[in-house]
Amino acid sequence: MANSSRNRKILFAKRPQGMPDESHFKMMEEEIPEIHEGEVLIRSLYLSVDPYMRGRMSDAKSYAEPYEVGKPFIGGIVGKVTKSKNPRFQEGQFVEGRLEWAEYNVSDGSDIRKVNPEWGPITTALHVLGMPGLTAYFGLMLIGQPKEGETVVVSGASGAVGTIVGQIAKIKCCRVVGIAGADDKCRYLTEELGFDAAINYKSAENLRKAVKEACPAGVDVYFDNVGGKVSDAVMSRINFQSRTVICGQISQYNLEKPELGPRVAGQLLTTSSLMKGFIVSDYAEHNKEGLIQLSEWLKEGRIKYRENIVEGFENTVDAFLGLFRGDNIGKQLVKIVD
């Protein structure tokens, strides 16, 4: 149970080989910090767990600095300013930022943004109106460039990014096929989000055949969140001048040895196709326009979302590990306090 005068934090305890578990994290407690001139104290309300964090647990060279062993884990948090000595932020204001996995954070204001509750519930700053929403929007619109009538396939379809990709592709009048790991996830995609078809990659007897049946006109845009065998099946159906957007490779993140698959260069060559990886921050200069568009679609009800909420700061690590078990439909969040 939380002690109201204390601040609990989760530290990165050691680097994992393969699948991480609770032993790679450590809970510690300290006094709630004091703030100095120019700073704010933020009470964490909701915390986001995201697959990219697994990459930062490794010390392999990547686009983001590895987490430091012994230091707090960092991630997206929506919180409330409870004390302010910074004229830009008032007490009671909601903010979002990449902060320490802690019940309280001190910020000088450079790593947080104000959350406007008129745009949507404050939790949406961690998904539709935040990093996953912008990832879906930039990846699909700027790289995938879907055109009316085309077939768009998205893997990891029932998660934070995938659900938004599929709905934007529907707004753009495409045939949308989602690939996910459970029947209830597939039903959610077709019955609630308007996807045209969904494939359960875990139960499909022949994934290539399932993709062929769901995409009778082939695949024009493949938005890849997972990689591995799912992608092998989709890539076998790409069309002339198709675009493959490499957003994530979650099926590979916990492997101890790299997995070898088909070599797709020949297929890209003979179909004059594009395959491009990206990181959401590549397009940071477009964040504002992306958020305005996403908030309009959200208000119009053209983008829907679901949140998978785990209650209690002490359950943060398990919520994070659940991403790799496929526990979530929609965005996985941890609720720290009301």
Ligand X SMILES: NC(=O)c1ccc[n+]([C@@H]2O[C@H](COP(=O)([O-])OP(=O)(O)OC[C@H]3O[C@@H](n4cnc5c(N)ncnc54)[C@H](OP(=O)(O)O)[C@@H]3O)[C@@H](O)[C@H]2O)c1
Q: For ligand X, which is the closer residue by CB, 185 or 237? A: 185
Provide CB contacts within 8 A for 93, sequence distance 6+: 80, 81, 84, 114
132 binds ligand X (CB under 6 A): yes
- 182 binds ligand X per the rule CB under 6 A: yes
Total interface residues for ligand X by CB under 6 A:
30
94 contacts ligand X (rule: CB under 6 A):
no
Using the contact rule CB under 6 A, the part of the chain among 16-24, 66-74, 108-116, 157-165 near ligand X is 157-165
Measured CA to CA in angstroms, residue 154 lies from 3, 64, 141, 323 at distances of: 44, 25, 14, 17
Distances (CA, A) of 259 to 61, 228, 276, 285: 19, 8, 20, 35
**In the complex, which residue's CB is closest to ligand X?**
159
CB of 325 to ligand X, least distance (A): 7
Q: Which regions of 170-237 does DSSP assign to beta strands (E)?
A: 175-180, 197-200, 219-224
- Residues within window 196-225 making contact with ligand X, judged by CB under 6 A: 225
Nearer to ligand X, 21 or 34 (CB): 21
Cβ within 8 Å of residue 300, ≥6 positions away: none
- Out of 20, 79, 146, 156, the only residue in the binding site for ligand X (CB under 6 A) is 156
Closest CA to 289 of 141, 173, 73, 102: 141
Segment holding 152, helix H or strand E: strand 151-155
Q: Rule CB under 6 A: say whether 166 interacts with ligand X.
A: no
Q: Which residues bind ligand X (CB under 6 A)?
A: 50-52, 132, 135, 156, 158-162, 180-182, 185, 225-226, 230, 247-248, 250-251, 278-280, 323-324, 326, 328, 332
